[in-house]
């Protein structure tokens, strides 16, 4: 998303955002034809573990897409955890369609053991593995496991990574009872955004080595 990209940007970093599914896979594969130091999946995620509140930071050791498992690079992940000692370590689930209901979050947590879920990390991990470059992830929980994401929030996710306010208002007009849930999500998003900025600032020194090749960060 656009706000994730703005936070991720910095010296020695190239950000890919506003792409989903096959489009992200293709763009990342093309980008990795040119050498880079590695790939980091950076941004927000949905919570699956009830212990994780909005703003919780996850630096996973494994990305599980339900079929394949992709280990994160031990050295890169260790460096991230050293910079982010408050981050939790575990499994991050990767999915192709948003997991929005409490029941679906609980089911995915039971079957995968994952702490959180996103729609980009498994793609980034697969392409990094194919290119033979290190991969790591840093994800911040936005919607916790005990909350359902309202339909208006999904409708507002524009194809370019920006908020589609027209679609949001249209969906909200059709289902006005979503407003309370949407306001709660907005509060959670503010917490997650601040935590993401704090994490990026803490990662700064490690990712600002001028002599290094560029790092690619799908967001």
Question: How confident is the prediction along the chain (219 residues), in pLDDT tens digits per residue?
Answer: 788 989 998 877 888 888 888 999 999 999 999 988 899 999 999 999 999 999 999 999 999 999 999 999 999 999 999 999 999 999 999 999 999 999 999 999 999 999 999 999 999 999 999 999 999 999 999 999 999 988 767 766 765 556 666 766 777 777 777 788 888 888 999 999 999 999 999 987 655 443 444 566 676
pLDDT of amino acid 207: 58
- CATH of the domain spanning 2-209: 3.40.50.1580
C-alpha torsion sign, points 129, 5, 219, 96: negative
pLDDT of amino acid 13: 85
Give pTM, 2 decimals: 0.85
pLDDT of amino acid 213: 47
| Rounded CA separation 48/39 (Å) | 24
Contact by Cβ (8 Å): 63, 121 = yes
């Amino acid at each position: 998303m656009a706000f994730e990209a703005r936070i991720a940007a910095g010296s020695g970093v190239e950000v890919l955002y506003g792409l989903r599914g096959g489009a992200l896979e293709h763009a990342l594969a093309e980008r990795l034809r040119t050498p880079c130091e590695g790939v980091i999946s950076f941004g927000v995620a949905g919570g699956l573990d009830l212990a994780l509140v909005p703003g919780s930071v996850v630096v996973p050791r494994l990305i599980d897409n339900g079929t394949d498992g992709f280990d994160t690079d031990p050295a890169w992940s260790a460096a991230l955890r050293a910079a982010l000692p408050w981050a939790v370590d575990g499994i991050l689930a990767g999915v192709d369609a948003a997991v929005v209901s409490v029941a679906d979050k609980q089911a995915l947590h039971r079957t995968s053991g994952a702490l959180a879920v996103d729609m980009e990390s498994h793609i980034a991990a697969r392409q990094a593995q194919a290119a033979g470059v290190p991969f790591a992830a840093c994800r911040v929980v936005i919607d916790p496991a005990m909350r359902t994401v309202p339909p208006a929030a999904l409708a507002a996710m524009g194809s370019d990574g920006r908020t589609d306010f027209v679609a949001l208002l249209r969906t909200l007009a059709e289902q006005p009872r979503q407003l309370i849930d949407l306001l709660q999500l907005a509060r959670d998003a503010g917490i997650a955004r601040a935590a993401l900025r704090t994490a990026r600032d803490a990662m700064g020194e490690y990712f600002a080595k001028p002599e290094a090749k560029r790092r690619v960060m799908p967001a």
